[in-house]
Amino acid sequence: MQFINIGYGNLVSSDKILCMVSPDSAPIKRLLSKAKEDNLLIDASQGRKTKGVIILSDGRVVLSALLPETIASRMSMEGHDD
């Protein structure tokens, strides 16, 4: 199992990531509201502006201050360390 740095010392298991998206669209905003209602929202943005939303395979939703592209590049860099 590998962990990916999603910003400010926060890590998430790369095996659990289903997708990473921008928080700007209306469907994602609805998803965030629903996740908050269901206590499935994890705010890992450290109080900064949310630039990325990570949806995990178990239904949890993680907020990150990093762009999805930045997290994806970190994932691909981690894969080359083996």
Alpha helices in 13-67 (DSSP H): 26-37
Pairing of the two strands 41-43 and 61-64: parallel
pTM of the model: 0.91
Phi, psi (deg, nearest 5) at residue 54: -110, 125
Encode pLDDT of 42-78 as tens digits: 999 999 999 999 999 999 999 999 999 999 999 988 7
Say how far apart CA 4 and CA 14 lie, in whole Å.
Answer: 6
Encode pLDDT of 3-30 as tens digits: 999 999 999 999 999 999 999 999 999 9
Written as six digits, the tokens of 25 are 């669209």
